[in-house]
A = this chain, B = another copy of it.
Amino acid sequence: MTIDSRPLFGKVALIGIGLIGSSLAHAMRRAGLAAHIAGYSHRSETIEKAQAIGFADSFHTSLAPAVRGADLVVLAAPVGAFGELARELGPHLKPGAILSDVGSVKMAVLRDVGPHVPDGVHFIPAHPIAGTEQSGPESGFAELFDGRWCILTPLPGADEGAVATLKSFWQRCGSQVEIMDPKHHDLVLAITSHVPHLIAYNIVGTAADLETVTESEVIKYSAGGFRDFTRIAASDPVMWRDVFLNNREAVLEMLGRFNEDLSALQRAIRWGDGEMLFNLFTRTRAIRRSIVDAGQDIGEPNFGRPRTKNPA
């Protein structure tokens, strides 16, 4: 996987050291990509936890010293904070540096960060399609990006050398890299990530609010399917609030399609149209197989959850 072993960068600054930032630090160390990793958080508890793990060379609660002299600066905070972060750190960026991010939306990042990028700094947004439901500096691990895709959304006219360097960076972190138009990115992610999270959050909320079925029953019998949804509905609340507030248009468009299709299914159930149900349920099985064949999920039953030997 590692195609080159020379450090790509002298100093890399991670602005945010939660699940993604800390995983990136571990992956960079694994591949020897930076001579110095600087980690920033505005919270001193986060810095303390991160220092105890020790995945960066320096830790900062101020932006200026974190980014000073950095060859690559990666915004890895909730996207709603990007504008303010960029405004503050912009003046301290080194000419020739690459400014990138890991945000789940891309049009809003261009809108919020773009105006604060100084001349001579290469702004290249990025989005690694990887994560877990956990958050915080203790949840990161080096293998998070292995085999997953990272999408870069450079603007037309972006420096080709800088784009190639960032592409190499993500490949050496284990990812496959794709270049995409930012507006298209937001549409693709709305259906592959944002709407799935929304409906998972929604059904968990619905189940918790019922009067006719108790929360204890929902929990006990969750192995019937419900428990699968609770995993992504346990994802970081601030990160996901910011995703929905910042990809409004694409999420509402995809949600409209989802609702339209759900109404048709609802009608099929009401009128007993078994053929319509059977045909859909057969088609969807094939897509699962394609995802497993593409190496994007495990083929073992139940996501490879261990077969319980010692029941609770």
CB 8 Å contact bits of A203-240 with B (1 = contact, 0 = none): 11111111011010111111111111111111101101
Q: How far is the CA of A215 from the CA of B288 in the complex (A)?
A: 12
Q: Is the CB of B205 within 8 A of A280?
A: yes
Partner of A288, one of B146, B234, B278, B303: B234
Give Cα A225–Cα B233 distance, bound, in whole angstroms: 10
Q: Which of A80, A149, A207 has the most CB of B within 10 A?
A: A207
Residue of A129, A230, A245 ringed by the most chain B CB atoms within 10 A: A230
Q: Given A269-B251, A287-B204 in contact, is the A187-B209 Cβ separation under 8 Å?
A: no
| List of B residues within 8 angstroms of A203 by Cβ | 195-196, 199, 258
| Interface residues of A, dominant DSSP | helix
Residues in A282-312 with C-beta less than 8 Å from chain B: 282-285, 287-291, 294-298, 301-312
| Best-surrounded residue of A147, A225, A237, A270 (most CB of chain B within 10 A) | A225
Are the CB atoms of B277 and A311 closer together than 8 Å?
no
Residues of B with C-beta under 8 A to A174: 308, 311
Q: Which B residues lie within 8 Å of A132 (CB)?
A: 301-302
Number of copies of this chain in the oligomer? 2
Chain A, 139-183, CB within 8 A of any chain B CB: 139, 141, 143-144, 146-149, 151, 174, 176, 178
Q: Is the CB of A307 within 8 A of B141?
A: yes
In the assembled complex, which residues on chain B have CB atoms less than 8 Å from the CB atom of A295?
A: 308, 311-312
Query: How many residues of chain A are within 8 Å of chain B by beta carbon?
Result: 119
Interface presence of A44 (CB below 8 A): no
Beta-carbon contact of B296 and A219 below 8 Å: yes
Q: Which of B229, B258, B277, B296 has a CB less than 8 Å from the CB of A240?
A: B277
B234→A284 contact, CB < 8 A: yes
A221→B130 CA distance, assembly (Å): 9
- Contacts A132-B301, A191-B207 hold; do A202 and B294 have CB atoms under 8 A apart? no
Q: How far is the CB of A275 from chain B (nearest CB, A)?
A: 9
Flag if A245 contacts B220 (CB, 8 Å): no
Chain B residues whose CB sits within 8 angstroms of the CB of A242 once the complex forms: 274
Q: List the interface of chain A (C-beta within 8 A of B).
A: 1, 80, 104, 129-134, 139, 141, 143-144, 146-149, 151, 174, 176, 178, 187-189, 191-210, 212-213, 215, 217-235, 237-238, 240-242, 244-245, 248, 251-252, 254-255, 257-259, 261-262, 265-266, 269-270, 272, 274, 277-278, 280-285, 287-291, 294-298, 301-312
26 A-B residue pairs with CB within 8 Å? A143-B308, A143-B309, A144-B307, A149-B221, A188-B217, A191-B206, A192-B225, A196-B226, A198-B262, A206-B261, A209-B257, A210-B254, A223-B296, A227-B291, A228-B232, A230-B297, A233-B281, A234-B289, A237-B282, A241-B278, A248-B272, A251-B269, A255-B266, A295-B312, A297-B305, A298-B306
